[in-house]
Every structure is written in structure tokens, then in C-alpha cells.
Amino acid sequence: FFRDVCIVSMELPATVPHGFTCPITYDIMEDPVMLDDGHTYERAAIEQWFRCGNHTSPMTLLPVPSSFTPNHTVRGLIAEWKEEGRRIIRAKAKVEAEAKLNALVLVLVIAIAIGCSWCACPAGHVRTLCACVPCSSGSVPSKAGDVCVPCSSGSIPSKAGDV
């Protein structure tokens, strides 16, 4: 019963914004450069294109000079997008950790409230689990209505090592 607690996972969008991938490699660009055709490419990919003897734009197939200009705007936008992705991943991990802790608290409160055999295990087990959940009144707080359910084992140590 208690192992069936389900936590809804938040999925991150897997789509890369248009213009962040090189039209030659289809990878996210690290060093974007722009040709006279107005398109932006990964520097290494367009250099390879020209080394292979191509003198045309990979997008328009029209002749273009083999010179290019660094696209600082696209590089900055990609860097911001990557940083935002890292922030989202960190926030997601924090939310998931808090959800797991809340699920544990809920399981403990329910188990203690119904007096199941899991809570009636050898002395110290419940106190060790309860010590993970701080409560100044010496009982396990319930997230629903801030009701505190007294532990069946009596006092709760201030930290898990006091058991």
C-alpha cells in the first residue's frame, strides 16, 4: 500500500528553439557564424563544407564567398537558453526531492495514525524515521491541516543519532 505512492514527474520540453541548430549538422551550435546568405552555421561544419570544394551556400545553393562573421547574438541566445535549461533541471530536482520527503511524511503519518505493524517494529525504528521530520511538539506533523499525530513510541529524539 505505502509503496504505491505516485509522484507526478514534470517533463522538460525536448525541443530546441529554431535557429539554435546548424542546418548542416543539426546539432546545437557552439560557435555560430553567419555567411553572406544570411544563414548561421556551426563554424567547424561550414569550414568543412568549404574544404570539400563547395563554393555555394548549403541552404540556397547560390554562390557565396568563403568568409563568414561570428554570430554573437545567436551565441548569446544559445548560452542563455542552456543556462535556463540548467535552472529548470535544478528546480525540478528540488521539487522532486521535496515531493519525496512529503510522501514519506504522509506515509509516516498514515502509518502511525492507523497503528500498523510497520510502526510497531523494534524500538528506535519509528523514532529514527520520525527524527527526519522536525516538529517542536514531539510529534509528526501532518501536511493536511497541520495536525500532529503523537508517535506511538513516546518521545522523538532531536536527531537520528539519538536513538
Same domain, 99 and 35: yes
Same domain, 77 and 93: yes
Of 142, 108, 143, nearest to 127 (Cα)? 108
Q: What is the mean pLDDT of residues 86-95?
A: 89
Same domain, 28 and 108: yes
- In contact, 108 and 130? CB cutoff 8 Å: yes
Same domain, 98 and 129: no
- Sheet of strand 40-42: strand arrangement: 40-42, 32-34, 69-70
Percent of the chain at pLDDT exceeding 70: 61
- Residue finishing a domain among 95, 114, 133: 114
Domain count along the chain: 2
**Whether residue 19 has pLDDT greater than 60:** yes
Same domain, 109 and 121: no
- C-alpha grid cell for residue 161? 543519532
Q: Specify the pLDDT at position 147.
A: 39
**Whether residue 161 has pLDDT greater than 50:** no
Q: Specify the pLDDT at position 109.
A: 78
| Tens of pLDDT, residues 101-153 | 888 888 887 777 776 555 555 444 544 445 554 444 444 444 443 434 445 54
Q: Specify the pLDDT at position 7.
A: 32
Neighbours of 108 (CB within 10 A): 23
Same domain, 18 and 86: yes
Q: Specify the pLDDT at position 108.
A: 80
**Residue span of the structural domain in which 141 resides:** 117-163
Same domain, 153 and 90: no
Q: Specify the pLDDT at position 89.
A: 87
Lowest-confidence region among 5-14, 86-95, 116-125: 5-14
Confidence grade of residue 11 (pLDDT, cut at 50, 70, 90): very low
- C-alpha grid cell for residue 83? 543556462
Q: Which amino acid is at 20?
A: F
